[in-house]
Structure 1
């Protein structure tokens, strides 16, 4: 198993769950010079994503790829020339160990293997559909006045086809839904721009609120709601 990613082989359905920020792992030979407790916070990991991914893969009988390292080691959901690829600040916290880090070494070690494997998994599918799964913090330390009332956000860039299908279904399931919230996929959608939109592959970009996704009850709720919606979306692109 590569340290750059983890795979889940839940079955043969042509649906791939992509979880860029599902891990808080920092290799022993990388020192970020941060308080270790921050590795349990939203700046390091998308809380609840790994658990919901695993539940959905088993429920739907599909595959998944999860980023193998913390977003503080390298952000897999950024373009290669993006300023935040190797973060030196995150929500008011200095990531001092990244100031003099070798970006090319981390690209070679983590970023490129992850994206190569993601592309290879899609290439093995006849009619792929992607779920891009993330989670967001209900409050930012750097912007405490910002209100984030949504339980789930739906993000997309130019291809909003699946979003238009899913949003009313998510609302009908009783969730408070943000269309392009808590931020717009037109601004931050690197992995889906590269693997989905550039190749005409339909996808659904989901952001779960972390205070919901962080509990077993919330994870079960998200998996139960998202499963049928994903199957419905995929069926419309068959």
Structure 2
């Protein structure tokens, strides 16, 4: 067990599900200085991701690794020198407890162990494929006029091989798909840049709309859609 991540061992298929922002947990010895209710909001956790990832691991018979702490404690999907590792502001909400936090301590405690475990899991696979699972809020408090109509987004940086396979399949499943939406993977793709693109490992990165995966029915629906598509991408690329 590790406080940096939760590992779900669903089987031996060479497909690793990675969910950087799956947890809203804040360790008892860390005070972010925010209201507890905010830990249930998108600024703290990717809503629905933990449940969908667990369902996918069981459905596909593969391993999933879920980030063990809130993105407000440390953002696991940021490069080690990125300014947003310890957010002091998120979608209009101040996070005063991070202003004087020890970045090195948080990196050693959470960021390094998480990414080291991802590397170990991938090293143990003969022909790995990664499914990166995130979710996005349909409405930003800091930019309420921004339209975010997609049911799911597909993100990538340079490697769009799985994206080109998945997008038409997701559309055929009845989803409104955003290609590089609600933001571009060329701008924010740290975990996949590190563990997939740097080593040529194929991957599919998705962003599910949070109001569609906020309850068990929606989580089940998305897992049932994503499972066969991730498997198709893996079978064609890994």
The alignment status of 1:219 with 2:215, answered yes or no, reads no
Give the CA deviation at 1:216.
1.0
The alignment status of 1:45 with 2:45, answered yes or no, reads yes
Give the CA deviation at 1:135.
0.2
Correspondence for 1:58: 58
Alpha-carbon distance in 1 for matches of 2:55, 2:96: 36
**Deviating more after overlay: 63-72 vs 213-222:** 213-222
TM-score of the aligned structures, taking structure 2 as reference length: 1.00
The alignment status of 1:196 with 2:196, answered yes or no, reads yes
Correspondence for 1:181: 181
Give the CA deviation at 1:73.
0.1
Alpha-carbon distance in 1 for matches of 2:90, 2:237: 38
Calculate the aligned-residue CA RMSD, in Å.
Answer: 0.4
Moved over 2 A (4+): none
Correspondence for 1:163: 163
Which 5+ residue runs of structure 1 have no aligned equivalent? none
Deviations 1:106-153 (A, max 9, x none): 000000000000000000000000000000000000000000000000
Number of residue pairs the alignment of both structures matches: 238
Alpha-carbon distance in 1 for matches of 2:56, 2:73: 27
Correspondence for 1:205: 205
**Which SS does the other structure have where 1:13 is aligned?**
coil
Correspondence for 1:2: 2
Give the CA deviation at 1:81.
0.9
**Which SS does the other structure have where 1:236 is aligned?**
helix
Correspondence for 1:136: 136
Which 5+ residue runs of structure 2 have no aligned equivalent? none
TM-score of the aligned structures, taking structure 1 as reference length: 1.00
Alpha-carbon distance in 2 for matches of 1:146, 1:33: 28
Give the CA deviation at 1:215.
1.3
**Deviating more after overlay: 228-237 vs 179-188:** 228-237
Deviations 1:179-208 (A, max 9, x none): 000000000000000000000000000000
Correspondence for 1:81: 81
